[in-house]
Amino acid sequence: MQSISVYDSLTGQKVPFKPIKEGFLSMYVCGPTVYSYVHLGNLRTFLSFDIVYRYFLHLGYKVRYVRNITDVGHLEDDADFGEDKISKKARIESLEPMEIAQKYTNDFHDMLKKINNLPPSIEPTATGHILEQIEIIEDLIQKGFAYQTNGSVYFDVKKYNQTEDYGILSGRNIEELLNHSRDLEGQSEKRNPQDFALWKKASPSHIMRWNSPFGVGFPGWHLECTVMSTKYLGETFDIHGGGMDLKFPHHECEIAQGKAAYGKKPVNYWLHANMLTLNGKKMSKSTGNTILPMELFSGDNAFFEKPISPEVLRFFMLQAHYRSVLDLSNDAILAAEKGFEKLKAAYFWLLESSQAEKQSSIDIHSWKQKCYQAMNDDFNTPILISHLFEGVKYIDGLKSNKQTLSQEDLILFQETFKEPSNRENFASGLAYLKSQPRAICSPPPKQFP
């Protein structure tokens, strides 16, 4: 069994990964709030955890990978203020909120499939777990960590912090938070400004609402992840992933909720994927410095000189480590395309090759081990890719007869490079670099239009 190191955001250190149960991995990743088309930054995050998922599968782990769909409760402002994102969009588009959620869930699935992400083992929805959310709120109230006020329920951060450490993940100091909190409408019903909503009273105009012992309302955003992760993975599980921007307050709140409800830390390793920028700047709708995945793929945009295929985007993203900021630009992605074509050409040549000699002039075993070492080192895909390009040099050497491989080594070289032939076997080989599924059920387009 390979031994993997992961960078744990909570301790800020790279540590050896040890699963709760040998040979099993439990992983939860925060999914999208489905009120608009998925943006490229999100795609990068989900791709990062697709790599983690596939690598563990490849190593023979039995993996339960849970990634949720937030279809209610995510307010416009993290401070429990403003309108529910999906309800607002429903009002603007004159649709039932669940039509909005469905439309953008479909887009999300289409785009992830396009860049060849595997679907998670379970993809639960927030609205699908209202009962469980109500039950944990009742429990938190009973334990003194939550209080009702004016039809809403808040988590009492100060109370929690008396015995536990709120800020442990994000490194924030609760005193500092108190000083920096804004005075917003509706915040006055909280005991302290850093308290966060577990249940929000629904205003008469709010279309997404459920009955509860606390009154008619809807659950808070942070709570759903605690409920769904523990329901399907247990009170403590191996890996929790998400975008860097979710560290605070979202993941901080998850830790507090889990600890308060179950008396134990919910997660053994916190992994956070970094940002994607566009032409050196943060992507943002308000500045116009933004592009949708489908605009990138179709070429219908002002940033790129030609359409970019999903497999090139995937390869481009994997050229950076998931914890580094990655900048997307015309030049960078065209360079990635060139590199990817070169890699593919060499790879296809290799697969067809039967050019075996008595002796090997290349040490394929050691090359293979270096590939695994890269992945074992916190899923370092850029280093892995550099080894694959070293492999391309070997292939060039074989082509020009300057290098030789024995029959056995040739097969090992091919197998290591090899793509899987069907969905069941998907995670084998180094195929997590390749885009487009090859399953019987989902034949890839021959060429992207």
| Chain residues in the site for a copy of itself (CB under 8 A) | 64, 96, 98-99, 102, 106-107, 109-111, 114, 119-125, 127-128, 130-131, 134-135, 210-211, 232, 294, 297-298, 440-449
Cis? peptide before 249, omega within 30° of 0: yes
Residue 429 near residue 415, CB atoms below 8 Å:
yes
Minimum Å distance from CB 185 to a copy of itself?
A: 29
How many residues in total does the chain contain? 449
Minimum Å distance from CB 236 to a copy of itself?
A: 17
**Could you tell me the sign of the dihedral formed by the alpha carbons of 382, 312, 51, 323, in that order?**
positive
Pick 79 or 100: Cβ nearer a copy of itself:
100
Pick 67 or 272: Cβ nearer a copy of itself:
67
Of 51, 45, 29, 216, give the one whose Cα is nearest residue 123: 29
Pick 126 or 239: Cβ nearer a copy of itself:
126
The pair phi, psi for residue 137, each rounded to 5°, is -65, -45
Minimum Å distance from CB 297 to a copy of itself?
A: 7
Pick 187 or 301: Cβ nearer a copy of itself:
301
Which H or E run contains 339?
helix 330-352
Pick 272 or 434: Cβ nearer a copy of itself:
434
Compute, in degrees rounded to 10, the torsion defined by CA atoms 88, 291, 275, 278. Answer: -140
Minimum Å distance from CB 325 to a copy of itself?
A: 28
Q: Is 101 helix (H, G, I), strand (E, B) or coil?
A: helix
Minimum Å distance from CB 122 to a copy of itself?
A: 5
The pair phi, psi for residue 265, each rounded to 5°, is -70, 135
Pick 231 or 370: Cβ nearer a copy of itself:
231
Pick 134 or 239: Cβ nearer a copy of itself:
134
Minimum Å distance from CB 159 to a copy of itself?
A: 26
Strands 196-201 and 152-155: antiparallel
Minimum Å distance from CB 424 to a copy of itself?
A: 11
Coarse DSSP helix, strand, coil percentages of the chain, rounded to the nearest 5 percent: 45, 15, 40
